[in-house]
A and B are shown apart, each in its own frame.
Chain A
Amino acid sequence: MRTGVFGWLLLALLGCGAASAAKLNVVATLPDYGSIAEAVGGDKVQVTSLVRGTEDPHFVDARPSLVRSLNKADLLVEGGADLEVGWLPTLVSGARNARILADAPGHVLLSRGIRMRDVPTGPVDRSMGDVHPAGNPHFNLDPANGRDMAASIVAALSRLDPANASAYQSNARQFTERLGVKLAEWTNSLAPYRGTKVVTYHKSFDYLLERFGFELVGTIEPKPGIEPSPTHINALIPRMKAAGVKLILSEPNRPRKTPAQLAEATGAKVVLLPGLVGGVPEATNYIALFDYDVRQLLDALKAP
């Protein structure tokens, strides 16, 4: 009787193992990376994203359930540049999964394939706030980087699953083509507004602004990751007025009081832009995220 139960249990466990072996188990930190992995991997992969789109990716809880996800992963896709430094290392060391470690084939560091912005040229210390020595880690917000991220992921998938390499490459080609068409569309629709002056909450939209030719006048945070002080806000208001700032960009999860105050004082408009896939229900995937963000920008810019 006892052996029977154990036998069934064992069979069930083996069954689980067989079912998961059929698909590559991809774990991405940001849902953006996960979305691209889904587009590239198609039906050959099972993708899990550790960060929820509504969260601050710098401050994610290292929940034990994430250890379990990493334990079963064939491929870990992380952004790097210190984005996940506060929570991923402890998860990875607890996951006891050699497939996703250090020089293992199942590890992708996306920032390696990206031209990083804001790489400090001089020495960095924490009096400058949360400055990342490897550069600004919010590179997912330049849609053109989607191609590079897809390339990194397709290389890893092909390495792990050479039998399906051509399928991954053809998926990636389709994805980059679609992204290219979309990018042209977004660029065209925002072209009349190039040079628009904006203020952002955190230094998280720099890649997006560069792509569409918006000009960053300042940030609500005096330094990256440092809470705004009244002194800083009082200095920011005349600067915004002098520069003619039209928009204040912030993620929906950030505090809304200070942006609202600034908007009232300067006449600029607050635009809530999700910085990650899943940040709003409409941002269901990487392309939908920019569709949403561009629409939000256009709505704000077109309105009288």
Chain B
Amino acid sequence: MRGVPRRIPSQMKILRRGLSSALCLAALAIQAQETKEIEQIRKEIQEATDAFQKAADQFQKTTDSLKKRLDQLQGTNVPAAAETKLPPSPAPAADARTNALAGSSPAWSPADPIRVVGNAQNYLNLSFDALFAAGWSTEPDVESLQLGGHDPLQRGFTVQNLEMTLQGQVDPYFRGQASIIFQIDPEGETGVEAEEAYLESMSLPANLQLRAGQYFTEFGRLNPTHPHTWDFVDQPLVNGRFLGGDGLRNPGARLSWLAPTPFYSELFVSMQNSQGETAHSFRNDHEGEVFFGRPATETHVKGFGDMLYAPRYAASFDLNDENTLVTGASAAFGPNSSGGSTDTQIYGLDLFYKWKPRNQSKGWPFVTWQTEWMYRRYEAGAFAGDVDNPAQPSEVLRDWGIYSQISYGFRRGWVGSLRGDYVTGDEAALDPDPDRDRRWRLSPALTFFPTEFSKIRLQYNLDDRREEGVDHSIWIQFEFLLGAHAAHKF
């Protein structure tokens, strides 16, 4: 027993030691257990993460393949899962807009740009149109046969018109448009024409609209349009003879008024410069060549009377749902270069009719009929004659001409057209004169439009000129259009 008390202390000691060491061990054990647990947890976390990653991968894979399938099925990318909208709630309408806008669409504000042409940022819309022709004519000097500056001008290939059009809103008051043309002439020289560049008012009072700059004169139907919108590869003869190969256009200003009639009617009055090669029947020096047997007289602008004036009145009637008629009367007055005080007057009447059935698809089928008649009165001055050219008296040269064309869009993308041309002049001191002699042309054409951005056209011309006789020409025309979608005029 003695030992016991003895031992007690020792035991106590042991116990103490033991306790302490046990405690220590326990602590160690606990520590070890803790580490194990942490490890376990970490492991679990890792496992969970892995599993999640795996699931996420699987999810990604599934959605990807679904999206891919969706794309394949629909042809384009589609925004993610279809949000199922509840039937419209009878919420107050004013709030409905805000509800409707919940989502990714940008908030609408009345101050947003109108975006009438193109999309996104809209400072400038750019487009490029290229028009080519290829073919053959029995007349080796094709330029003597074709009157238009953008017609096929030689055997083989012709770069008819490479046209860059820039347009957009200038500011709240004006719209601006410019067409810059590149052309490669038969000599292989590249030429640049500032064909059009003008601004146009958007909101003048009293239904008025102002256009100022360089622009095509509003004369008849064809003159103010660009070659790529034509139904044939070339210009009508009467346009070439009276208004010139590049059309009647010059710097100036034009005011037009939308009349308050129960049908559409519009009055245009234009004042432009009267000189230059784009004022063919007016103060044109014809590049030093004689015109109607007379060399050009140098003239100057002495007053308002020496400008070119062009009034036009156009009216349109929707005969019914399917038939529309547009008619117009035009005139152009100004001095010419054959004498000191000689003037030219050109008058024109035009008619355009279109049938398009109620059930149209992509604009097909349709029938259009367009006719323009023009009369020119040219006061030719007296010319004393020189070594190369005989004398000419003072006289009045009267010419007239007409073209009439019909187009039938018989099948989607396909248009068959036929045009007849006739021009002639009355008797004059100079005879014959290839610029005034009677001639006619008959042109059937077939056009295929793969889309509204490209076309291929085949045309045959049967020409008959009083002095030269009959000629045959065959032309293929092709076109492509890049850039902004041009809105078409009627």
Contact = CB atoms under 8 A, between A and B. Distances in A.
Nearest to A159: B110
A87 interface: yes
Interface string B86-97: 011111111011
Contacts of B453: 126
B111 A103 contact: yes
Interface stretch (B115-123, B158-166, B180-188, B340-348): B115-123
Interface string B199-237: 011111001110000000000000000000000000000
Given A85-B485, A102-B114, A112-B108, A68 B93 contact: no
A45 interface: no
Interface string B407-450: 00000110000000000000000000000000000000000000
Interface in B51-88: 73-79, 82-83, 85, 87-88
B105 A169 contact: no
A133 B74 contact: no
A56 B360 contact: yes
Interface string B347-359: 0000000101011
A56 B360 CA distance: 6
Contacts of B358: 52, 54-55
Contacts of A118: 74, 76-79
22 contacts: A40-B93, A52-B358, A55-B359, A55-B360, A56-B361, A62-B489, A64-B316, A85-B485, A86-B452, A87-B488, A103-B110, A103-B172, A112-B106, A112-B112, A154-B93, A155-B94, A168-B93, A169-B94, A176-B93, A179-B88, A184-B87, A206-B74
Interface stretch (B25-33, B137-145, B256-264, B329-337): B256-264
A89 B117 contact: yes
Interface in A83-116: 85-98, 101-103, 105, 107, 109, 112-116
Nearest to B107: A112
Contact of B76 (A16, A71, A128): A128
Given A131-B76, A203-B76, A255-B412, 9 more contacts: A40-B93, A85-B485, A89-B487, A90-B489, A101-B202, A112-B108, A119-B79, A173-B93, A253-B361
A109 B203 contact: no
A169 B92 contact: yes
Contact of A253 (B87, B88, B207, B360): B360
A4 B75 CA distance: 67
Contacts of B452: 86
A150 interface: yes
Given A118-B76, A134-B119, A63 B318 contact: yes
Nearest to A225: B451
Given A180-B87, A206-B74, A97 B203 contact: yes
B363 interface: yes
Nearest to A142: B85
B324 interface: yes
A41 interface: no
B113 interface: yes
Given A85-B117, A101-B203, A154 B110 contact: no
Given A102-B169, A103-B111, A119-B79, A226 B207 contact: no
B316 A114 contact: no
Nearest to B175: A93
Contacts of B96: 147-148, 150-151, 172, 176
A92 B116 contact: yes
A147 B361 CA distance: 29
B363 A103 contact: no
B100 interface: yes
Interface residues of B, number: 79
B175 A151 contact: no
A183 B207 CA distance: 44
Interface of A: 13, 16, 40, 52, 54-56, 58-59, 61-65, 67-68, 71, 80-82, 85-98, 101-103, 105, 107, 109, 112-122, 126, 128, 130-134, 144, 146-148, 150-152, 154-155, 158-159, 168-169, 172-173, 176-177, 179-181, 183-184, 187, 203, 206, 210, 215-219, 223-227, 251-255
Nearest to B359: A253
B25 to A, nearest CB: 65
A5 to B, nearest CB: 16
A32 to B, nearest CB: 16
Contacts of B189: none
B465 to A, nearest CB: 37
A81 B118 CA distance: 9
A296 B218 CA distance: 50
Contacts of B106: 112
A64 B264 contact: yes
Nearest to A115: B103
B76 A120 contact: yes
A40 B93 CA distance: 10
Is chain B's interface secondary structure helix, strand, loop, or mixed overall?
loop
A254 B83 contact: no
A213 to B, nearest CB: 9
Contacts of B88: 144, 146-147, 176, 179-180, 183
Nearest to B411: A255
B456 interface: no
B300 interface: no
Interface in B141-156: none
A216 B117 contact: no
Contact of B97 (A61, A151, A206): A151
B190 interface: no
Interface in B349-398: 354, 356, 358-363
Contact of B112 (A103, A176, A183, A225): A103
B203 A98 contact: yes
B304 interface: no
Nearest to A135: B79
Contact of B108 (A113, A116, A179): A113
Contacts of B38: none
A179 B91 CA distance: 13
Given A86-B487, A131-B76, A65 B172 contact: no
A13 B207 CA distance: 14
B490 A62 contact: yes
B326 interface: yes
Contacts of A219: 75
A27 B108 CA distance: 20
Given A118-B74, A225-B451, A152 B203 contact: no
B75 A203 contact: yes
The 5 closest A-B pairs by CB, nearest first: A98-B203, A172-B93, A147-B88, A64-B316, A151-B96
A116 B105 contact: yes
A78 B411 CA distance: 30
Contacts of A97: 203
A64 B360 contact: no
A187 B87 contact: yes
B289 interface: no
A176 B182 CA distance: 56
The CB with the most chain A CB atoms within 10 A, among B88, B106, B314, B354, is that of B88
B287 interface: no
